[in-house]
Amino acid sequence: MNWEALLSTRRFKLHAGNIQATSTPATLEGAAGLRSDFHIDHDRVVFSSAFRRLGRKTQVHPLASHDHTHNRLTHSVEVASVGRSLGNRVGAMMQHAGLLPAGYTPFDIGGVVQVACLAHDIGNPPFGHTGEEALREWFRDPRHATLLDSLSHAEKADIQTYEGNAHGLRMIASLEMYAGEGGMRLTCAAIGALIKYPWTSDAQRAKARGKFNLYRTELAYFEHVAAELGLIRKGAHHWARHPLSYLMEAADDICYAILDLEDAVEIGILDVKEFEALFSHFGEAERIWHTDDPRQKCAMLRGIAIGRCVAEVAEKFMLHQDTLLRGTFPGKDLIDACAPSIKETLLAAKALASQKVYRHRTKLVTELASYPCIGTVLDVLVPAAYTLICHGEDALSARHQLALSLLPKPIRRELGLYHAYMQVLDYIGAMTDNYAANLAREISGVGIL
């Protein structure tokens, strides 16, 4: 892989069933320098309804009532800020080393990573990772097996494994902006940086890691993106990662390792002294001890810790750039390659969150409630979709007809069962926590009065 191809600003659209390259919007701005292609990517993500809905989606605490805790929107904005800093620093180092292609600036690297970070959670369903599990569990339940019998192995793998990463690409490439015609039509560079798991749900890596980024619905689109970027093919439906995706991933890891604990202090689950014990060794302690305000202490420590992490990750990216470009990077991620003082602190932060935050009773109760909530909606929609596709409109009961009327767009019978189920998953996956909870309550009959 080489940087000139990896930073491609080409965009693709779907026209009359064919995937085609489209014009570069930055050339249509009317004057040079108004917005770069990556600025246009940024704006398209920010102004999308999918991005806006993140404001009502779980980061850690479902349906949190505390104003200062993070939701998916604030988390994404902060990850994008860290990602931009990482990208700018790496870009400056690449420029100094003579590795930056002609016509690009260090800020272009920062811009690509920022866009990927903004969009990295855009496919998350209501209730976060618990929502993903609830969707998977329903479709894997033996009681629902007959509803999937006519699907191919690959289609069944997609439907039974709702994956926020794959749905994020689906939002960007199919559902938002130019729906059905290439979606947001982001640059290939931004899409490449977004994709952490460039393989399909039935690929060997998906079975090993339980993660994937490519539904069958977006596979042909990504084939074109991967070819444009020059991503190394490692299997029939498996590619090497874009090097900048490692920076996006690191920005996310840094933020949730540190900020999830800051939220826990804010709502009283964690003592501020535990937060201090983890991060005070990063230095500049004299600045911190001048205040007794727990919120201010956490903010100071957080800023110092993020700064140290950004410098270390950027350095390790440059150190391993050759293997990243060859698709042979040996580490799990860039955090894994960092100095022990950084790596062990972030691992300790995640361990503390797992012990005291993620298993706290207030979180457990709401997460448990998300299973029947999502199940209630699926119980109504999936049998109706199955009946329409497999038996036709005349077989629909009055209840089925009412259920299908909930969907924003009618299901097209000619597209088949797989696409009908994907449309159901699109509808539920796009819901906010509040909308899903209210809809489940209303259609169960509990909220009828």
DSSP string, 365-414: HHHHHHHHHHHHHHHHHHHHHHHHHHH-GGG--HHHHHHHTTSSS---GG
Instruction: Count Cβ atoms below 10 Å from residue 426 Cβ, excluding itself.
Output: 19
| Cα–Cα distance, 322 to 84 (Å, whole number) | 22
CATH class (in words) of the domain with range 247-356? mainly alpha
User: How big is the CA angle at 115 (ends 109 and 117), to the nearest 5 degrees?
Assistant: 100
Token duo for residue 176: 């938002």
Q: What is the pLDDT along the chain (449 residues), one digit of tens a residue?
A: 899 999 999 999 988 778 998 876 766 655 566 788 999 999 999 999 999 999 887 656 554 555 556 688 989 999 999 999 999 999 999 999 999 999 999 999 999 999 999 999 999 999 988 999 999 999 999 999 999 999 999 999 999 999 999 999 999 999 999 888 899 999 999 999 999 999 999 888 887 777 999 999 999 999 999 999 999 999 989 999 999 999 999 999 999 888 888 878 777 777 778 888 888 777 655 555 566 677 777 788 888 889 999 999 999 999 999 999 999 999 889 999 999 989 998 998 888 888 777 676 667 788 888 999 999 999 999 999 999 999 999 999 999 999 999 999 999 999 999 999 999 999 999 999 999 999 999 998 876 65
- Residue 32 has what pLDDT? 61
- Residue 58 has what pLDDT? 67
Contact 137, 185 (CB under 8 A): no
- Residue 41 has what pLDDT? 95
- Residue 114 has what pLDDT? 98
How far lies 308's CA from each of 114, 249, 338, 346, 440, in Å?
19, 17, 11, 12, 45
Q: Do domains 3-126+153-243 and 247-356 have the same CATH topology?
A: no
CATH classification code of 3-126+153-243 = 1.10.3210.10
- Please choose, from the candidates 306, 270, 304, 274, the residue with its C-alpha nearest in 3D space to the C-alpha of residue 288: 304
Segments making up each domain of the chain, as ranges = 3-126+153-243, 247-356, 361-443
